[in-house]
Amino acid sequence: MKRKDFFYFLVVGVFGSGLPAFLYAIGQQHVSSSIAGLLNSLTPLFTLLIGLIFFQVKVERIKIFAVFLGLLGAMLLVYFGQPKSGSSNYLYAFFLVLATSCYALSLNTVGKFLNSYGALTISSIAFGLVTIPAFIILLSTDFIQVMKVHEEAYNSLAAVSILSLLGTFAANILFYKLVQITNPLFSSMVSYLIPIVAIGWGFIDGEIITIYHFLGFILILCGVYLSKSKNKSK
């Protein structure tokens, strides 16, 4: 890592991994899964806005249209694809909105300042920079006591470990590689694909797929297709 790039790696570590993990954990204790899924789909919109305002990224009108088209499709999938039961404290929805804006800031930082590094390098350094503060926070909780006395503690730790290594670290390597070979806005559109994958698993599990789901699929895929061109700034 070049010394001049330390700050950018720190931004990616804190805003791309560290802070959103806490924000989602806090927010989703009080917000239903359907609302959380909808708010997660704001990532491309924030990526577009932050890129335009703070990174001077030039974006074609067709790509702006693509963002809103995909957002509409994601809203359809989330609304018709998840149970509406359960109450939500919408004040805590702010934590989820803030998390998506953090992802957007991290994406734009990788796309503009860290393109000369490999995806594995970006992920390793970014996670390494947040390891020490995260470990300090962990030790400030009752983690050690729970590991000693709770009978399911090690099973839970194993599940969290798998989630962190595959669902976060390995996924980030692929994600940062996608940013480098395309652009931050197109890469952020993968958040629109999450509801499609979730509903696909639901279909395998016996859930019913309606015409609204297919409409959402079409809108999302059209949005992703329209956003695939490279930014003019590159």
Residue 146 lies in a domain: yes
Residue 145 lies in a domain: yes
Per residue in 196-226, pLDDT tens? 887 788 788 887 888 888 898 899 889 988 8
Domain housing 88: 3-226
- Those residues whose C-beta lies under 8 Å from the C-beta of residue 197, and which sit 6 or more positions away, are none
107 three-class SS: helix
Residue 213 lies in a domain: yes
Cβ atoms 13, 62 nearer than 8 A: no
Residue 170 lies in a domain: yes
- Those residues whose C-beta lies under 8 Å from the C-beta of residue 51, and which sit 6 or more positions away, are 57, 59, 104, 108, 184, 185
Q: Which is more confidently placed, 25 or 230? A: 25
Domain count within the chain: 1
Residue 197 lies in a domain: yes
pLDDT bracket for residue 85 (50, 70, 90): low
The model carries a pTM of: 0.85
- Those residues whose C-beta lies under 8 Å from the C-beta of residue 141, and which sit 6 or more positions away, are none
Residue 234 lies in a domain: no
Per residue in 12-68, pLDDT tens? 999 998 999 999 989 988 887 777 777 888 899 999 999 999 998 888 889 999 999
φ and ψ at residue 123, rounded to 5 degrees: -65, -45
pLDDT for residue 233 is more than 60: no
Please report, for residues 29, 110, 167, 175, 229, the alpha-carbon distance to residue 118 in angstroms, rounded to integers and kept in the order given: 36, 11, 19, 12, 22
For the chain, what is the mean pLDDT? 88
d(C-alpha 202, C-alpha 11), whole Å: 36
Cβ atoms 60, 232 nearer than 8 A: yes
Tokens of 163: 């989630």
Q: Which is more confidently placed, 156 or 198? A: 156
d(C-alpha 177, C-alpha 159), whole Å: 26
φ and ψ at residue 191, rounded to 5 degrees: -65, -20
Residue 114 lies in a domain: yes
d(C-alpha 70, C-alpha 47), whole Å: 14
Residue 233 lies in a domain: no
